[in-house]
């Protein structure tokens, strides 16, 4: 098989306006459903956002929001000072919440733990349009 026949890629945009945590699970699950066994690589090409696996719908989103406020407060302590007050902290987020995830797919089904969801974490209120790139590697 030609190596390029076993790789599929798609990209989409979404708005994070008013939301710090956005669940991507259904979108990624649908992309996985058209494949067999392999890996899905999820890439977020932004300097102020990241991807994570977490439980959603149980209050964890609010807990993450509070934890990020403690870890990266919105004040003027940062050397990176362009943009709004606290924006320098947004640029530190990818150190803690990476901009990539690699996920297992078995028989066209995304393999996740019982309560795991794939989320985009975006504290940056200056840019609320995000691109997500999905790559399925069959194998």
| Longest alpha-carbon distance in the chain | 55
- Please spell the DSSP secondary structure of 10-42, one letter per residue: EEEEEE-TT-SEEE-HHHHHHHHTT--SEEEEE
Q: Where are the alpha helices (DSSP H) in 23-117?
A: 25-32, 60-71, 87-90, 93-96
User: What pLDDT digit, counting tens, does each position of 94-115 carry?
Assistant: 999 999 999 999 999 999 999 9
CATH fold for the domain made of 3-138? Jelly Rolls (2.60.120)
Domain ranges in the chain are: 3-138
The three-class DSSP label of residue 120 is strand
User: What pLDDT digit, counting tens, does each position of 73-100 carry?
Assistant: 999 999 998 889 999 999 999 999 999 9
User: What pLDDT digit, counting tens, does each position of 16-56 carry?
Assistant: 999 999 999 999 999 998 778 999 999 999 999 999 999 99
Q: What is the pTM for the complete model shown?
A: 0.91
């Amino acid at each position: 098989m030609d190596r390029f026949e076993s790789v599929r890629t798609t990209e989409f945009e979404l708005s994070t306006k008013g939301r710090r945590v956005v669940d991507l699970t259904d979108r990624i699950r649908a992309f996985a459903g058209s494949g067999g066994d392999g890996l899905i690589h999820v890439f977020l090409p932004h300097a102020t956002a990241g991807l994570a696996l977490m439980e959603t719908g149980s209050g964890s989103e609010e807990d993450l929001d509070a934890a990020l406020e403690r870890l990266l407060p919105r004040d003027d302590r940062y050397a990176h000072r362009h943009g709004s007050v606290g924006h320098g902290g947004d640029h530190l987020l990818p150190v803690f919440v990476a901009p990539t995830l690699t996920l297992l797919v078995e028989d066209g089904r995304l393999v996740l733990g019982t309560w795991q969801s794939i989320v985009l974490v975006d504290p940056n209120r200056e840019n609320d349009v995000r691109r997500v790139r999905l790559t399925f590697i069959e194998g």
